[in-house]
Each structure stands twice: as C-alpha cells, then as structure tokens.
Amino acid sequence: FNLKINQVIQTIENNRTELVCLKSSLDEDYLTRAKAFAYVIEKNPNIIESVTELQNLATLLDVDELHVSDSEGLIAYSSVPKYVGLDFHNG
C-alpha cells in the first residue's frame, strides 16, 4: 500500500515539474510573438490601423487576437474591433 502511495506522490511531483517547464516554455513563446508583433509595428506603424492586417498578423503569429493599448491601458487598435476602447485596468 505504501508503495502505491509513494508512486502517486512521485507522479504528482513529476507532473508539477512538467507544468513549471511547460509554463516557462509558453511564456517564452508568447513573449517572442509579442516582440515579433512590436517589430512589425516599428517597421510599419500604419499597419495597426488596418483590422484586416491585424487579423492577418494574428493568423501568422498563431494567436487568437492582437491588441495595441495606449499609455492609459485602453485598447486603441485591435484585430477584434469590438475591443477597441476596452480598459485593461477594468477587465
């Protein structure tokens, strides 16, 4: 019985370790995508004014949505027009 409990404990610990590694990997991946989006904007600032181009970039970057916020945290541009004006501070 103790052997089974120890196996379950070890499995849970291994799963936790795997989750930490996976989260770290995903964090890096999405940061890379955000940097790529920032680079595109830097090279072509007007691109954010086109919903179609933002949608194309979202597809290219393999993300559901792209948003650009202003200094106040309001979404100023988005690949999903209904989110323009949404305040990140208020959810």
* Span 18-49, pLDDT tens digits: 999 899 888 899 999 999 999 999 999 999 99
**In total, how many domains does the chain have?**
1
Model pTM above 0.85: no
| Residue 55 amino acid letter | Q
Question: Do 48 and 56 form a contact (C-beta atoms < 8 A)?
Answer: no
The range of the structural domain enclosing residue 13 comes to 2-90
Q: pLDDT digit string (tens) for 34-91?
A: 999 999 999 999 999 999 999 999 999 999 999 999 999 999 999 999 999 999 877 6
Give me the pLDDT at residue 79, please: 98
